[in-house]
Amino acid sequence: MLASRNMNIHIIGGKAMHDVVKDFVESRDNRVFVNGSFLGKGNIKETDILFVNNHIDDNRMKTKREYIKKYSHIQTGEVSSSLYNGMKNFVNVMRQKNGSLSENSFLKSVGCPFKFAKQPRCGHKAILHFLRNGCFPVVEGFSFSIHDSPDTYYNQVGVRNFFYHNYDSEVFVLRWLHDNNKIDLTPCMFVKLENNTPLIDATGLQPRTQFLGYCLDAHNECKITNCRNPQQVIDELCRNYKNVSVERNKDTLHFKLPT
Protein backbone atom coordinates (compact mmCIF):
# COMPACT_ATOMS: atom_id res chain seq x y z
CA MET A 1 0.00 0.00 0.00
CA LEU A 2 1.24 3.49 -0.85
CA ALA A 3 -0.36 5.24 2.14
CA SER A 4 0.10 4.82 5.88
CA ARG A 5 -2.59 3.49 8.17
CA ASN A 6 -4.71 5.92 10.20
CA MET A 7 -4.07 8.79 7.79
CA ASN A 8 -6.58 10.98 5.96
CA ILE A 9 -6.38 10.30 2.25
CA HIS A 10 -8.12 12.49 -0.30
CA ILE A 11 -9.82 10.62 -3.14
CA ILE A 12 -10.73 12.82 -6.09
CA GLY A 13 -13.40 11.69 -8.53
CA GLY A 14 -14.30 13.01 -11.95
CA LYS A 15 -17.40 15.07 -11.15
CA ALA A 16 -17.13 18.76 -12.04
CA MET A 17 -15.86 20.88 -9.14
CA HIS A 18 -16.23 24.53 -8.17
CA ASP A 19 -12.98 26.48 -7.75
CA VAL A 20 -13.46 26.46 -3.96
CA VAL A 21 -13.27 22.66 -3.93
CA LYS A 22 -10.41 22.65 -6.45
CA ASP A 23 -8.43 24.98 -4.17
CA PHE A 24 -9.15 22.69 -1.23
CA VAL A 25 -7.92 19.68 -3.24
CA GLU A 26 -4.79 21.52 -4.37
CA SER A 27 -3.94 22.44 -0.77
CA ARG A 28 -4.06 18.81 0.43
CA ASP A 29 -1.43 16.10 0.62
CA ASN A 30 -2.06 12.33 0.39
CA ARG A 31 -4.18 12.65 -2.75
CA VAL A 32 -5.56 9.85 -4.92
CA PHE A 33 -6.81 10.75 -8.40
CA VAL A 34 -9.21 8.37 -10.13
CA ASN A 35 -8.56 7.81 -13.84
CA GLY A 36 -8.54 11.28 -15.46
CA SER A 37 -9.75 13.29 -12.48
CA PHE A 38 -6.37 15.06 -12.20
CA LEU A 39 -7.13 17.29 -15.20
CA GLY A 40 -7.64 20.90 -14.10
CA LYS A 41 -6.64 20.18 -10.48
CA GLY A 42 -3.25 21.88 -10.43
CA ASN A 43 0.22 20.37 -10.44
CA ILE A 44 0.79 16.68 -9.74
CA LYS A 45 2.76 16.10 -6.54
CA GLU A 46 5.36 13.38 -6.12
CA THR A 47 3.25 11.75 -3.40
CA ASP A 48 0.04 11.70 -5.50
CA ILE A 49 -1.44 8.35 -6.46
CA LEU A 50 -3.22 7.57 -9.73
CA PHE A 51 -5.85 4.85 -9.27
CA VAL A 52 -6.97 3.54 -12.66
CA ASN A 53 -9.32 0.94 -14.04
CA ASN A 54 -8.01 -1.97 -16.05
CA HIS A 55 -8.50 -0.71 -19.58
CA ILE A 56 -6.87 2.64 -18.85
CA ASP A 57 -3.92 0.90 -17.18
CA ASP A 58 -3.53 -1.35 -20.23
CA ASN A 59 -3.76 1.48 -22.75
CA ARG A 60 -1.67 4.11 -20.95
CA MET A 61 1.44 2.04 -21.76
CA LYS A 62 0.76 2.19 -25.51
CA THR A 63 1.72 5.00 -27.86
CA LYS A 64 -0.20 8.28 -27.68
CA ARG A 65 -1.67 7.65 -31.14
CA GLU A 66 -2.96 4.23 -30.04
CA TYR A 67 -4.38 5.70 -26.83
CA ILE A 68 -6.22 8.49 -28.66
CA LYS A 69 -7.67 6.01 -31.17
CA LYS A 70 -8.84 3.69 -28.40
CA TYR A 71 -10.97 6.40 -26.74
CA SER A 72 -12.03 8.35 -29.84
CA HIS A 73 -15.65 7.22 -29.39
CA ILE A 74 -16.02 8.88 -25.98
CA GLN A 75 -13.66 11.89 -25.88
CA THR A 76 -11.87 14.30 -28.17
CA GLY A 77 -8.30 13.77 -29.26
CA GLU A 78 -7.29 16.86 -27.26
CA VAL A 79 -8.71 15.40 -24.03
CA SER A 80 -7.15 12.00 -24.69
CA SER A 81 -3.79 13.64 -25.36
CA SER A 82 -3.98 15.61 -22.09
CA LEU A 83 -4.88 12.46 -20.15
CA TYR A 84 -2.09 10.45 -21.76
CA ASN A 85 0.52 13.13 -21.05
CA GLY A 86 -0.77 13.75 -17.51
CA MET A 87 -0.59 10.11 -16.51
CA LYS A 88 3.13 10.14 -17.28
CA ASN A 89 3.62 12.58 -14.36
CA PHE A 90 2.56 10.09 -11.70
CA VAL A 91 5.20 8.16 -9.80
CA ASN A 92 2.61 5.99 -8.02
CA VAL A 93 0.00 4.18 -10.13
CA MET A 94 -2.44 1.60 -8.78
CA ARG A 95 -4.68 -0.68 -10.83
CA GLN A 96 -8.16 -1.57 -9.62
CA LYS A 97 -9.11 -5.18 -8.97
CA ASN A 98 -12.14 -6.51 -10.81
CA GLY A 99 -15.30 -7.92 -9.26
CA SER A 100 -17.86 -6.65 -6.76
CA LEU A 101 -17.91 -9.71 -4.48
CA SER A 102 -14.91 -8.61 -2.40
CA GLU A 103 -16.29 -5.06 -2.09
CA ASN A 104 -19.67 -6.36 -0.96
CA SER A 105 -18.03 -8.76 1.49
CA PHE A 106 -16.12 -5.85 2.99
CA LEU A 107 -19.28 -3.74 3.23
CA LYS A 108 -20.99 -6.59 5.05
CA SER A 109 -18.04 -6.92 7.43
CA VAL A 110 -18.37 -3.27 8.53
CA GLY A 111 -22.13 -3.56 9.01
CA CYS A 112 -23.27 -1.77 5.85
CA PRO A 113 -26.83 -2.86 4.94
CA PHE A 114 -26.28 -1.88 1.29
CA LYS A 115 -24.23 -3.56 -1.41
CA PHE A 116 -23.21 -2.79 -4.97
CA ALA A 117 -25.87 -4.11 -7.32
CA LYS A 118 -23.36 -4.28 -10.19
CA GLN A 119 -19.67 -3.66 -10.73
CA PRO A 120 -18.74 -0.54 -8.70
CA ARG A 121 -16.94 2.17 -10.62
CA CYS A 122 -13.22 2.71 -10.20
CA GLY A 123 -13.55 5.58 -7.70
CA HIS A 124 -15.72 3.53 -5.37
CA LYS A 125 -13.18 0.71 -5.55
CA ALA A 126 -10.49 3.22 -4.58
CA ILE A 127 -12.50 4.38 -1.55
CA LEU A 128 -12.98 0.83 -0.29
CA HIS A 129 -9.36 -0.10 -1.02
CA PHE A 130 -7.98 2.63 1.22
CA LEU A 131 -10.73 2.21 3.79
CA ARG A 132 -9.99 -1.50 4.21
CA ASN A 133 -6.29 -0.65 4.53
CA GLY A 134 -6.88 1.56 7.57
CA CYS A 135 -7.08 5.01 5.97
CA PHE A 136 -9.86 7.55 6.37
CA PRO A 137 -10.98 8.66 2.89
CA VAL A 138 -11.99 12.30 2.40
CA VAL A 139 -13.96 12.25 -0.84
CA GLU A 140 -14.17 14.98 -3.48
CA GLY A 141 -15.82 14.98 -6.91
CA PHE A 142 -18.32 12.15 -6.35
CA SER A 143 -22.10 12.05 -6.74
CA PHE A 144 -23.82 11.37 -3.43
CA SER A 145 -27.44 11.98 -4.39
CA ILE A 146 -29.69 9.79 -6.52
CA HIS A 147 -30.85 13.00 -8.20
CA ASP A 148 -27.42 13.58 -9.77
CA SER A 149 -26.78 12.52 -13.37
CA PRO A 150 -23.33 10.90 -13.41
CA ASP A 151 -20.96 11.13 -16.35
CA THR A 152 -19.19 7.90 -17.30
CA TYR A 153 -16.50 6.63 -19.64
CA TYR A 154 -19.26 4.81 -21.50
CA ASN A 155 -20.83 8.06 -22.72
CA GLN A 156 -24.14 7.31 -21.03
CA VAL A 157 -24.75 10.75 -19.54
CA GLY A 158 -28.15 10.88 -17.85
CA VAL A 159 -28.64 7.10 -17.83
CA ARG A 160 -28.62 6.09 -14.18
CA ASN A 161 -28.38 2.31 -14.21
CA PHE A 162 -27.26 0.20 -17.14
CA PHE A 163 -25.30 -2.93 -17.95
CA TYR A 164 -21.98 -2.04 -16.35
CA HIS A 165 -22.89 -0.14 -13.16
CA ASN A 166 -25.74 0.70 -10.83
CA TYR A 167 -25.38 4.31 -9.67
CA ASP A 168 -28.18 4.26 -7.11
CA SER A 169 -26.54 1.47 -5.12
CA GLU A 170 -23.24 3.39 -5.23
CA VAL A 171 -24.98 6.43 -3.74
CA PHE A 172 -26.59 4.39 -0.95
CA VAL A 173 -23.21 2.88 -0.05
CA LEU A 174 -21.42 6.25 0.03
CA ARG A 175 -24.10 7.89 2.16
CA TRP A 176 -24.04 5.01 4.65
CA LEU A 177 -20.24 5.13 4.88
CA HIS A 178 -20.34 8.86 5.57
CA ASP A 179 -23.20 8.49 8.04
CA ASN A 180 -21.20 5.92 9.97
CA ASN A 181 -17.96 7.94 10.02
CA LYS A 182 -16.06 5.66 7.63
CA ILE A 183 -15.51 8.39 5.01
CA ASP A 184 -16.03 12.15 4.70
CA LEU A 185 -18.26 13.36 1.86
CA THR A 186 -18.42 16.99 3.01
CA PRO A 187 -16.47 18.48 0.04
CA CYS A 188 -19.05 16.86 -2.27
CA MET A 189 -21.76 18.86 -0.47
CA PHE A 190 -20.45 22.21 -1.75
CA VAL A 191 -23.08 23.87 -3.95
CA LYS A 192 -21.87 27.37 -4.90
CA LEU A 193 -20.53 30.69 -3.70
CA GLU A 194 -23.44 32.88 -2.63
CA ASN A 195 -22.24 36.49 -2.36
CA ASN A 196 -18.75 35.06 -1.81
CA THR A 197 -20.07 32.78 0.95
CA PRO A 198 -19.62 29.03 0.48
CA LEU A 199 -22.97 27.21 0.55
CA ILE A 200 -23.00 23.60 1.76
CA ASP A 201 -26.09 21.43 1.24
CA ALA A 202 -25.77 18.35 3.44
CA THR A 203 -28.95 16.74 2.01
CA GLY A 204 -29.79 15.15 5.34
CA LEU A 205 -26.24 14.05 6.17
CA GLN A 206 -23.96 15.46 8.86
CA PRO A 207 -21.09 17.58 7.47
CA ARG A 208 -17.61 17.21 8.97
CA THR A 209 -15.50 20.10 10.20
CA GLN A 210 -12.34 19.76 8.06
CA PHE A 211 -13.87 21.19 4.88
CA LEU A 212 -16.16 23.55 6.79
CA GLY A 213 -13.10 24.93 8.57
CA TYR A 214 -11.32 25.35 5.25
CA CYS A 215 -14.27 27.38 3.93
CA LEU A 216 -14.26 29.55 7.06
CA ASP A 217 -10.52 30.14 6.85
CA ALA A 218 -10.67 31.02 3.15
CA HIS A 219 -13.86 33.11 3.13
CA ASN A 220 -14.47 34.10 6.77
CA GLU A 221 -17.97 32.63 6.58
CA CYS A 222 -20.01 29.71 5.30
CA LYS A 223 -23.64 28.59 5.13
CA ILE A 224 -24.80 25.05 5.83
CA THR A 225 -28.27 23.81 5.04
CA ASN A 226 -30.20 20.56 5.48
CA CYS A 227 -27.85 18.95 7.97
CA ARG A 228 -29.16 16.23 10.25
CA ASN A 229 -28.00 17.65 13.57
CA PRO A 230 -27.47 21.44 13.37
CA GLN A 231 -26.54 21.77 17.03
CA GLN A 232 -23.69 19.30 16.63
CA VAL A 233 -22.25 21.37 13.78
CA ILE A 234 -22.56 24.52 15.90
CA ASP A 235 -20.82 22.88 18.86
CA GLU A 236 -17.96 21.50 16.76
CA LEU A 237 -17.21 24.71 14.86
CA CYS A 238 -17.52 26.85 18.01
CA ARG A 239 -15.07 24.50 19.70
CA ASN A 240 -12.55 24.99 16.89
CA TYR A 241 -13.22 28.71 16.33
CA LYS A 242 -13.73 30.54 19.61
CA ASN A 243 -14.66 33.82 17.90
CA VAL A 244 -17.11 32.43 15.31
CA SER A 245 -20.70 33.68 15.33
CA VAL A 246 -23.67 31.75 14.03
CA GLU A 247 -27.08 32.78 12.75
CA ARG A 248 -29.74 30.10 12.57
CA ASN A 249 -32.64 30.53 10.14
CA LYS A 250 -34.91 27.49 9.78
CA ASP A 251 -32.72 24.77 8.24
CA THR A 252 -29.75 27.06 7.44
CA LEU A 253 -26.74 27.85 9.63
CA HIS A 254 -24.64 30.92 8.75
CA PHE A 255 -21.20 30.98 10.39
CA LYS A 256 -19.06 34.15 10.37
CA LEU A 257 -15.60 35.03 11.57
CA PRO A 258 -14.80 38.63 12.51
CA THR A 259 -13.16 40.56 9.66
The pLDDT confidence band at residue 157, using thresholds 50, 70 and 90, is: very low
Question: What integer pLDDT is reported at residue 119 of this predicted model?
Answer: 87
- 4-8, 25-29, 66-70, 209-213: range with lowest mean pLDDT: 4-8
Is residue 243 over pLDDT 50? Answer: yes
- Do the Cβ atoms of 30 and 8 come closer than 8 Å? yes
Q: What is the pLDDT of residues 96-150, one digit of tens each?
A: 876 667 899 999 999 999 999 988 989 999 999 999 999 999 999 998 877 665 5
Q: Other CB atoms closer than 10 Å to residue 31's CB: what's the count?
A: 23
Rg value, the chain, Cα:
19
- DSSP strands (E only) in 22-158: 31-34, 49-52, 92-95, 136-140
**For residues 198 and 187, is the Cβ–Cβ distance under 8 A?**
no
Whether 156 has a pLDDT exceeding 50, the answer reads: no
DSSP annotation of 225 reads: E
* Per-domain residue ranges of the chain: 8-184, 189-256
Specify the DSSP element, H or E, that contains 95. Answer: strand 92-95
